[in-house]
Amino acid sequence: MAINDAVDWRADLGGGTHVAIVQAGTFRSDAGALFGPVPRLLWDRLVTDEIDAENRLLQALNCLMVETPAGRVLVETGIGERVDEKTRTMRGYQGSPILAALRAAGFDPGTIDVVALSHLHFDHAGGLLDAAGERGFPRASIVAQRAEWEIAFSENPRIVASYVQPELALVRDWGAEGWADGEREVLPGVSVVPTGGHSAGHQAIVVRGTGAGARTLAFFGDLCMRPWSANPRWVTSFDDFPLDSVEAKASLFARAADEGWLVALSHEVRTPVGRLVRDRDRYRFEAV
C-alpha cells in the first residue's frame, strides 16, 4: 500500500518520492533536562499544557516512512515492544510500537529496505526487534554511523545510562552490516549526514524529491526534537557534546532555512513538520 491517510502527516516531494510521519507512541522526558541550561523563566510558557505533576513533557516517537521509486526507508523505530512494565511506567511509554503503528498505517514492515537511525538511544533503536526478539524488518539493512555503534558499547557510566546495551548487543551484527562511515546515499535521494553533538555518531537524514517543484525534507534527529530546538543554542542536557550540537545545528539550520527544506521533528506530538525561518541570530520553527 502506498502512503495514505492513516498516517500523522504526509507529503509528496516530487519524482515519486513520498514521506509520512508514523508516530510509534509517546513517552515522557524531564522538562529541565530537555531545556538544558535554558532558564525555566524562558521555557515555562511553551509547555504549560503538557507538563505533568512530575515535571515531564509529552514526547512523541516520530518515525519517518520514505517511499522512493528505488525502495522504502524507515527512519527511527521508537522504543519498541521489548520493555518491561517497570520501564514502561518509568518512561511514561504509551501507544502503538512501530511494527503495530506501521501495520495500522497500511505498511508491511517486511517491505522496508533500509532502516536509518539518527542514533542508538533507547527511544530510537528500541523497535528493531519484535517482542519475541526476531528482526522486525527482515529484509532491511540498518544504517547508523560506525562511530555511534562504537560509542554505544562504551563502559562510561553516562553512556551505559543512555543506551540499552543488552538489547543493542542482539542487533550488533545486523547493524555492522550496514554501518556508515560519514555521509552516504542509502537509496537514490535519501542520504545520511553525520552531525555528532547529541551523541558521538548522531546523523541527520535528508530526503530529496526530483522533477518540477521538487522538495527536500530533513530529519535532524534529536538535534531538532521540538519547535524550540530551532534555536541553535537551546541544546538538551542529554547532548553528550553540546558545543558540537550548537555548531551542527547552526550550519544545518542555515541550509534548511535558505533552501526552504521541510523539517520533521523527532519528538513533537502536535506539529511534527514545518520549516525553519531566520529570526535574528536564531531560527523559528513554523509548522506546515
Instruction: List residues binding Zn ion (CB under 5 A).
Output: 123, 222
Q: Indicate the residue among 148 and 222 with the shorter CB distance to Zn ion.
A: 222
End-to-end CA distance of the chain: 25
Whole-angstrom distance, CA of residue 146 vs CA of residue 103: 30
Q: How far is the CB of 78 from Zn ion (least distance, A)?
A: 9
Residue 149 has which C-alpha cell?
555503534
Q: How far is the CB of 268 from Zn ion (least distance, A)?
A: 11
Whole-angstrom distance, CA of residue 286 vs CA of residue 288: 7
Q: Indicate the residue among 9 and 163 with the shorter CB distance to Zn ion.
A: 163
Amino acid at 67: E
Q: Indicate the residue among 82 and 121 with the shorter CB distance to Zn ion.
A: 121
- Asked if residue 222 lies in contact with residue 238, where contact means CB atoms within 8 angstroms, the answer is yes
Q: Indicate the residue among 222 and 244 with the shorter CB distance to Zn ion.
A: 222
Q: How far is the CB of 124 from Zn ion (least distance, A)?
A: 6
Q: How far is the CB of 194 from Zn ion (least distance, A)?
A: 17
Query: Which H or E element spans position 159?
Result: helix 157-162
Q: How far is the CB of 12 from Zn ion (least distance, A)?
A: 27
- How long, in residues, is the chain? 288
Q: Indicate the residue among 113 and 222 with the shorter CB distance to Zn ion.
A: 222
Q: How far is the CB of 121 from Zn ion (least distance, A)?
A: 5
Rg of the chain in Å (alpha carbons): 17
Positive or negative torsion for Cα 62, 193, 43, 283: negative
Whole-angstrom distance, CA of residue 217 vs CA of residue 74: 14
Q: Indicate the residue among 81 and 222 with the shorter CB distance to Zn ion.
A: 222
Which residue reads 543488552 in cell numbers? 166
Helix (H, G, I), strand (E, B) or coil at 102: helix
